[in-house]
């Protein structure tokens, strides 16, 4: 776990405790959620899961936190398929005990769960996607980054390999940063 993630985890609950409960952002104006949902869909199309049992049944996208991302995925992508696998979007409970899924997105509100999730997922063919600086070093395969006021992504080929995922060349070429 990087020092940055440790700091985030330490400060996040304190901040949440001190803050007045916030009104959720309107889903339709949550531009980040709209962009992330589309990225998730496109990333899914450009990655190959080597494990045979991941190539049948539903294509599961699990979301922890980020209610608006979940809503956007349901609205725009839940009737689509990845290859022949119908997309199934699941809103997962705030727990490190994660069900089997192809993609697992963990939002910034739930970073405290990540160390345990990385540990439990280390042998699983699950692509962990998140959104904090230093995530690739911690074990994420794709991480959303903010560059020049734009939302982009970075990816780790090494972590992908560990999870038996083959990242497409297009995905690699379009990434803001690739960690080999």
Partner 1 sequence: MSMIRRLIIVVLATLSSVWLAAQSDPLVEALRKYQAGDLAAARTLIDEAVRLPAHVEDAEAWLLRGFVYKDIFKGATDSGIGDLLRDEALASLYTSIGLDTAGSYRENAAQAYDFLARSYFNDAAKALNDMDHERALAMFAKYKEATYRKDPEADLRSREVEFINALGTVYTKLFNMERKDTAWFEMAVGSYRLVLELDPENYGANYNLATLYYNRGVYNIQRINADDEIPSILEIQSASREFFQQALPFMLKAHDMNPERRETLLGLEGIYYSLQDQNNSDKFRQLFEEIAPEER
Cα–Cα nearest to 38, from 96, 80, 90: 80
Tell the burial category of 44 from Cβ atoms under 10 Å away from its Cβ (0-12, 13-18, 19+): buried
Measured from the CB atom, is 95 or 170 closer to partner 1?
170
Q: How many angstroms separate the CA atoms of 116 and 138, rounded? A: 11
**Contacting residue, 4, 152, 162, 164, with partner 1 by CB under 8 A:** 152
SS3 at position 95 = coil
Answer yes or no whether residue 14 interacts with partner 1 by CB under 8 A. no
From the CB of 6, what's the least distance to partner 1, in Å?
Answer: 19
The backbone region for 164, taken as left when phi is positive above 0, alpha when psi lies in -120 to 50, beta otherwise, is left
Q: Largest Cα–Cα distance in the chain?
A: 47
Answer yes or no whether residue 83 interacts with partner 1 by CB under 8 A. no
Q: How many angstroms separate the CA atoms of 34 and 31, rounded? A: 5
From the CB of 95, what's the least distance to partner 1, in Å?
Answer: 25
**Contacting residue, 34, 98, 114, 136, with partner 1 by CB under 8 A:** 34
**Contacting residue, 2, 38, 58, 124, with partner 1 by CB under 8 A:** 38
With contacts defined by CB under 8 A, name the span among 17-25, 54-62, 94-102, 157-165 that binds partner 1. Answer: 17-25
Tokens of 1: 């776990």
For the stretch 157-161, contacts whose Cβ atoms lie closer than 8 Å and that sit 24 or more positions apart, written own/partner, are 160/47, 160/127
With contacts defined by CB under 8 A, name the span among 3-11, 38-46, 52-60, 134-142 that binds partner 1. Answer: 38-46
Answer yes or no whether residue 149 interacts with partner 1 by CB under 8 A. yes
Site for partner 1 in 95-134 (CB under 8 A): none
Answer yes or no whether residue 169 interacts with partner 1 by CB under 8 A. no
* Residues at the contact surface with partner 1, assessed by CB under 8 A: 19-20, 22, 25, 28-29, 31-32, 34-35, 38-39, 41-42, 76-77, 80, 146, 148-152, 170-171, 174
């Amino acid at each position: 776990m990087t020092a940055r993630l440790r700091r985030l985890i330490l400060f996040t609950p304190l901040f949440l405790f001190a803050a007045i409960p916030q009104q959720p952002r309107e889903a339709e104006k949550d531009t980040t959620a709209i962009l992330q949902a589309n990225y998730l869909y496109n990333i899914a199309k450009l990655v190959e899961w080597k494990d045979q049992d991941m190539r049948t049944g539903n294509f599961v996208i699990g979301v922890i936190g980020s209610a608006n991302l979940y809503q956007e995925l349901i609205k725009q992508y839940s009737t689509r398929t990845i290859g022949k696998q119908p997309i199934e979007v699941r809103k997962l409970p705030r727990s490190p005990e994660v069900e089997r899924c192809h993609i697992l997105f963990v939002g910034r509100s739930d970073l405290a769960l990540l160390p345990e999730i990385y540990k439990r997922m280390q042998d699983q063919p699950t692509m962990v996607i998140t959104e904090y600086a230093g995530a690739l070093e911690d074990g994420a395969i794709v991480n959303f980054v903010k560059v020049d006021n734009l939302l982009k992504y970075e990816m780790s080929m090494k972590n992908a390999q560990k999870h038996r995922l083959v990242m497409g060349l297009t995905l690699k070429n379009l990434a803001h940063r690739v960690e080999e």
